[in-house]
C-alpha cells in the first residue's frame, strides 16, 4: 500500500469520528429555557425574588393571625398580675396618717394614696405608680425615731411576703413596726374607703380602689 493511500485512509477515518458540539447542547439545556429564553443568571435572580416575596407574604400573614389570636385572649389571662392592698398607719408626734397602696407582684406600686390625715379623708394620689415599694415609701415618709407604724396586707397570695417586705423598709430607724395580714379591721376600712360595704372579694375591692385613682 502506498503512503498516500495510508494518509488518505487515516484522514477519512478521522473525519468520520465527529466530536460532539458541547456548546450547542449547552444552549439547548432546560435551564436556559426557564423564563422565556433568558440567561441562567437572570432566571435564577427572578426565581429567587419571587420565592423571597412569597416567604415575606407568608410571614406577614402569620404575624397578623398571631396578633389577632393574642388580642382575643381575655385581659385577665394575658397579664396574670398579682395585686395586693397595703394599709400603712403611721403615728408621729400626735398625728395619725393613713396611706393605702396597691402593689403589683410584690414589687412595684400601682397606686400610692394618702387616705386620711387623722380622721379627715384626703384621698390624694401620691403619684408613685411604677416605683419600687421601698423607693415609694421612702419618698413619701420621712422616718422619725419614736414613730409607730402599723402595716396590714390584703391579697389572695403572697400577703406574708409583701408584709415582711414593707415592714423591712421601716425597720432599723428607731420605729416601732407591727405587720399583720388580712385583718377584719383593715378589710372594713378598705370597704368604707371605696364605698362598697357589701363586697367581700379582695380583688373586687382592689379594682374599685384603683378605679378611684
Could you give phi then psi for residue 143, rounded to 5 degrees?
-65, 140
Q: What is the pLDDT of residues 122-134, one digit of tens each?
A: 999 999 999 999 9
- Average confidence score pLDDT of the chain: 82
Q: What is the pLDDT of residues 72-95, one digit of tens each?
A: 765 544 457 899 999 999 999 999
Q: What is the pLDDT of residues 38-49, one digit of tens each?
A: 555 555 566 777
Q: Residue 92 and residue 97: Cα distance in Å, rounded?
A: 8
Strand partners, 111: 102
Tell me how crowded residue 111 is: count the other CB atoms within 10 A of its CB: 20
Give the pLDDT confidence score for residue 184 in this predicted structure: 93
Sheet holding 108-117, edge to edge: 120-125, 108-117, 95-104, 83-92, 148-154, 176-181
Q: Rounded to 5 degrees, what angle do the CA atoms 100, 106, 112 make? A: 25
Closest CA to 67 of 78, 76, 56: 78
Sorting pLDDT into bands at 50, 70 and 90, what band is 12?
Answer: low
Give the pLDDT confidence score for residue 209 in this predicted structure: 97
The model's pTM: 0.63
Give the pLDDT confidence score for residue 78 in this predicted structure: 42
Amino acid at each position: 500500500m502506498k503512503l498516500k493511500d495510508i494518509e488518505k485512509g487515516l484522514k477519512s477515518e478521522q473525519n468520520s469520528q465527529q466530536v460532539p458540539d458541547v456548546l450547542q447542547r449547552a444552549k439547548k439545556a432546560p435551564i436556559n429555557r426557564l423564563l422565556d429564553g433568558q440567561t441562567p443568571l437572570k432566571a435564577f435572580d427572578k426565581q429567587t425574588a419571587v420565592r423571597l416575596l412569597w416567604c415575606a407574604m407568608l410571614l406577614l400573614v402569620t404575624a397578623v393571625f398571631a396578633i389577632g389570636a393574642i388580642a382575643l385572649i381575655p385581659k385577665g389571662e394575658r397579664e396574670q398580675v398579682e395585686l395586693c392592698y397595703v394599709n400603712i398607719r403611721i403615728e408621729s408626734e400626735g398625728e395619725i396618717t393613713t396611706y393605702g397602696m396597691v402593689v403589683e407582684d410584690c414589687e412595684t406600686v400601682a397606686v400610692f394614696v394618702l387616705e386620711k390625715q387623722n380622721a379627715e379623708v384626703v384621698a390624694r394620689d401620691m403619684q408613685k405608680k411604677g416605683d419600687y415599694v421601698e423607693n415609694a415609701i421612702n419618698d413619701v415618709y420621712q422616718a422619725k425615731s419614736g414613730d409607730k407604724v402599723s402595716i396590714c396586707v390584703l391579697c389572695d397570695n403572697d400577703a406574708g411576703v409583701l408584709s415582711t417586705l414593707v415592714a423591712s423598709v421601716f425597720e432599723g430607724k428607731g420605729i416601732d413596726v407591727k405587720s399583720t395580714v388580712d385583718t377584719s379591721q383593715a378589710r372594713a376600712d378598705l370597704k368604707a374607703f371605696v364605698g362598697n360595704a357589701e363586697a367581700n372579694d379582695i380583688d373586687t375591692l382592689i379594682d374599685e380602689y384603683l378605679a378611684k385613682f
